[in-house]
Chains A and B, each alone.
Chain A
């Protein structure tokens, strides 16, 4: 893999794999532009290759998060104000595309 050497666009195949991971359907002109831009940015990202950090722990967060439990009381939003936002409905049910 020539990750650290790459200066040019990523392949169309790789771009389409990313688009599918990101759940985007791109037009051919978007594909051409993004392949170039992503290639350039990824090769910039490779500047971290030289970092000697193997022994360090990763900092996923800067504060020590602890579990906070709220009182076990019911909190709810007004159903109508939420249903008003739903794009596709049947009655008071949310309609979604089929998954299978």
Chain B
């Protein structure tokens, strides 16, 4: 069967109608990984054996005449900071190089229970701290569209795998843009759900008040399918909430009457010209399908980036304090000596440069004398931003902007740490406010993809999907990188 030409829905139907077998399809994907991932490096661990075994179980279910779950035998790649029972979960860090979780994350349990097949674990920035995958202990992921360029991060492996056809669907996590940035840089679709929509149980914590697990797929409807599977309250995560207004099947709705605000701060001075041009062309397309847009100003966005990094680093320094090398993970060769000295040696050996930088900055903003000036103030700015968006949401259904202000950059021209933080300027608002957001391919410049981003009101993922789907259909971009299957 020529899987390359089939959509995710068509493959799922072929499996359930026994036109093909799940095992045949999963073998095809595994062979593609074996052949082509040496260059892309989108996976850290591939669980070929487990995937084939699960595929056989799906085939047995079909033969027995039983109805398949929503994923119907589709394979899913899982970002390597989401725990998988019996499959090592490294966070792309030396400190967790050999960590094998004794349990599955809730998102993984839900994926499996809807007959999704776990393919393996994808490469990422160490502990999800970055937007390039350059900080991975296992080496960076190559952008599928152009050698030597970043795929974005931190979920770069998940996005690159989907773009290359090395997984039809993938899970990532988004703390400040980590699903949307790589989706934009790899020419695929990525969703950061409303905070609380998806359980974080089993997501290895970096900044707990900001992050959500989100789907990555080639199309908007692929992402809607996977989000539908993983969403919903979970007694293991007290911040997960019952969705009140999520209607993921409303993809066909037209955009007439839809009001879109375009914050001028999302097209600030750091925005590269090809990005601006592509964005405005995309907005023209959106108007053609019925939406109206207005340029607006969101004043508190100018304070938000610094506030975001203060909060993220503070939470990181606290969350990463658990890596002491005692119960799991890398450890100093001996336990002889003082606790603090050995603890510090383990961590210095196990963490990479960006992780060290962030936990030190987190310690700084939380330490006596600085707490109020930085951490407390940042949390108040978060309230300011939340209130401002809440007010604007009375007038607008959606907010739009370029997902990233820049094109995917080269690994040999990596920005400085501070410069790299600055390019998250358009993605962090969704994390600070908890609003849902999506990135959908908008076009190309210099052979590299550019993403269009929407934000919506809490639990209005249906609006994100509707607008992104209408745009995707109107734009009709052919998104297949060279060498993809």
Q: How far is the CA of A94 from the CA of B326 in the complex (A)?
A: 7
Q: How far is the CA of A16 from the CA of B365 in the complex (A)?
A: 15
Q: Which of B329, B369, B384, B418 contacts A51 (CB 8 A)?
A: B384
Is B71 among interface residues, defined by CB-CB distance under 8 A?
no
Q: Which of B347-382 contact A (CB under 8 A)?
A: 347-348, 351, 353, 356-357, 359-365, 367, 369-370, 373-374, 376-382
Is B189 among interface residues, defined by CB-CB distance under 8 A?
no
Q: Is the CB of A45 within 8 A of B365?
A: yes
Q: What number of B residues sit within 8 Å (CB to CB) of A?
A: 73
Hey, which chain B residues are within 8 Å of A68, CB to CB? 235, 238
Q: How far is the CA of A20 from the CA of B354 in the complex (A)?
A: 17
Q: Which of B102, B309, B421, B434 contacts A82 (CB 8 A)?
A: B102
Is A6 among interface residues, defined by CB-CB distance under 8 A?
no
Q: Which of A42, A77, A81, A96 contacts B326 (CB 8 A)?
A: A96
| Nearest residue, chain B, Cβ from A19 | B360
Q: Which of A19, A41, A65 has the most CB of B within 10 A?
A: A41
Is B165 among interface residues, defined by CB-CB distance under 8 A?
no
- Tell me how far the C-beta of A21 lies from the nearest C-beta in chain B, rounded to whole angstroms: 4
Is B317 among interface residues, defined by CB-CB distance under 8 A?
yes
Hey, which chain A residues are within 8 Å of B384, CB to CB? 51, 53, 56
Hey, which chain A residues are within 8 Å of B102, CB to CB? 77-78, 81-82, 85
Hey, which chain B residues are within 8 Å of A40, CB to CB? 416-418
Is B303 among interface residues, defined by CB-CB distance under 8 A?
yes
Q: How far is the CA of A84 from the CA of B99 in the complex (A)?
A: 10
- Tell me how far the C-beta of B129 lies from the nearest C-beta in chain A, rounded to whole angstroms: 13
Residue-wise interface mask of B (208-220) relative to A, using a CB-CB cutoff of 8 A (1 in contact, 0 not): 0100000000000
Q: How far is the CA of A93 from the CA of B255 in the complex (A)?
A: 62
Q: Which of B375-398 contact A (CB under 8 A)?
A: 376-384, 386
Sorted nearest first, the 10 A-B pairs with minimum C-beta distance are A62-B434, A87-B331, A58-B379, A85-B328, A53-B380, A21-B363, A97-B342, A25-B344, A81-B102, A59-B382
- A contacts, CB < 8 Å to B: 1, 3, 15, 18-26, 30, 34, 37-38, 40-42, 44-45, 47-51, 53-54, 56-63, 65-68, 70, 77-78, 81-82, 84-88, 94-99
